Structure formats: structure tokens, C-alpha cells
Amino acid sequence: MLKILNYCVLHSDKTTDVSLRLINVLSKPMSSCTAIDSGANLRKLFAGAVKAVQPASLINNQVKLADGHLTVSDQSFPLAKSCHVAGFGKAVLGMALELERTLGNRLKRAIVVVPKGIFQNYPQFKQENSKIAFIEGAANNMPDRDALVGAQSIKKLAEELQEDDLLLVLISGGGSALLPLPKPPITLEEKQNVIQGLSRGGANITELNTVRKHLSLLKGGGLAKLAYPSRVISLILSDVVGDPLEVIASGPTVDFQEDPDEAIQVGQSFTSKSFYKCK
């Protein structure tokens, strides 16, 4: 049983405001003179919408530190003696750097797994004297040995936490490929073969996640369980309609009741070979 588990899905109210203004502009008839001005306005609105949903902007606008409390959106948490960060996903780079700026000296350790090559594309994010250990992995959005090293490092961090620690978990789309840690004795290659076979057979994302969670140490609430008895707060940047937390990165901090028969049923639906329970 988990002691305390909070989920904070980051959204931007500015995006809604920009969308309404954009609809208002488009709904008005335009003369040839106003069309030029409207074009400039549309570009300005588009730039504003993009800026509003930048990961760093969301952290800056919605995560505040004051009077010994960490406030996320409308939720306030007493700040623990030691703050630690674990992150994985395509958008967590900016989130992690902004969170480090917010926490300052209160941040003790941070391990963040990001897509391979991201610093080549965004060299401006390379920071000197950062406490964040960035690990690049999952080339072509596929789990690989580098991502496995990152997942193992996050597992070690979680296992070392104490009751008075706080773990902030940064999660975004693409996090599943960046957090591959199969349950022993399953190897990464074996797990990949199973998931790829199901995918080629037509399994949907829900079915794939069902199998992933049963084969993984960290997915399906595994990360939160390893971090017990510390407090865990998940900051989730959703890329899924409806924000189903158990789907985003396969829900590493979302409670999950294992049912091996469910995973076996998925496997048998797409292959003549059965998945067998591992004790």
C-alpha cells in the first residue's frame, strides 16, 4: 500500500484563451486590407499557443516554491527534507531544467532519461553545473541498452529513498520506451520481441500496455512502489485525450492490480504461442 501518491497533470489555461481568440479572428469576415493584419495576428496567436504549452513554461507557471511548501496548480505540499527527481519522456528535458531552477539547493539528486540525440538538436539546453544526470536512450523511440541503464539508475534512486524524502516524477509521452526494465529473468530483447509481435499482430495501445505492465518492474505503479515509504508526486505532461494516467508511459506511478491471466489472454489473442506465468 502506498503512503501518499499525488498526480498533477499539467495544462495551460492560456492555450484555451488563445484558441478562443483564434476562433474569434477566423469567424470574422476579412477584407483584403484586414487579411494582412489578420495573418500577422494569426502568427502571433500561434506563437503564443506554442509558448503556453512549452514544458518549461508549464513548470514555471504551475510549480511554485514558497514558505516551505511546493505548490503545483492548486495543490500544496509541505517540502520534504530532501527532494529528488526522476524523469522520462520526450518533453521532460525542459521540465527538469525549470524544476531544478525552482527547487534550487533543495534538489539533492535528479536522473532524467531523454531521447537519444536531443542535445544535438537543442544545444541551448546543455547546462553547466547542473545536478541533473541526463541519460540519452531509446534511439528511434525504441527501448535500447542505454534506456535500460537509465531505468536501472532510476530504480536505484527510488530504492534508496527514505520516509522523509520527496520524489518528483516527471512523465511525458514517449516515456515508456525510455523506461524499459523487464522483470527477471526476462531480458530486454525478449520483452521487445513480445511487444513487437503483438504490435504487428494488431494489438491496440491498451492491450500493449497490459502486457508491458506485467513484464516490467517500473511500469504499472512499479516505480511508486519501489519509492515507498517516500512521498511521490507525479508531474505528467499528457499527450493522450482524456489524460488516462495509466496509459501515459504505461503508468509507472499509477496503482495497478496485476492479473497475469489478463496478459496471457492478450497474448493468446494474437499468437498461437501462449505466455506463461512466471513465479
Q: What is the pLDDT of residue 4?
A: 31
Q: What is the pLDDT of residue 144?
A: 94
The DSSP H or E segment spanning 75 is: strand 75-78
The pLDDT tens digits for 72-105 are: 888 888 887 789 999 999 999 999 999 999 999 9
Q: What is the pLDDT of residue 195?
A: 86
| pTM tops 0.85 | no
Q: Where are the domains of the chain?
A: 2-10+50-227+241-274
Query: Measured between alpha carbons, how far is 166 from 265 in angstroms, rounded to an integer?
Result: 38
Alpha helices in the chain (DSSP H): 13-27, 32-52, 55-62, 92-103, 118-121, 145-159, 188-201, 205-215, 222-227, 260-270
Q: What is the pLDDT of residue 183?
A: 95
Q: What is the pLDDT of residue 179?
A: 96
DSSP bridge partners of 110:
85, 132
Closest of 171, 169, 170, 165 to residue 79, by C-alpha? 165
Q: Which residues of the chain have pLDDT under 50?
A: 1-5, 12-23, 25-26, 273-279
Q: What is the pLDDT of residue 79?
A: 84
Q: What is the pLDDT of residue 35?
A: 55
Q: What is the pLDDT of residue 15?
A: 42
Collect all residues with Cβ–Cβ distance below 8 Å to 250 and sequence separation of at least 6: 175, 176, 179, 209, 212, 213, 216, 219, 220
Topology annotation, domain 2-10+50-227+241-274: Rossmann fold (3.40.50)
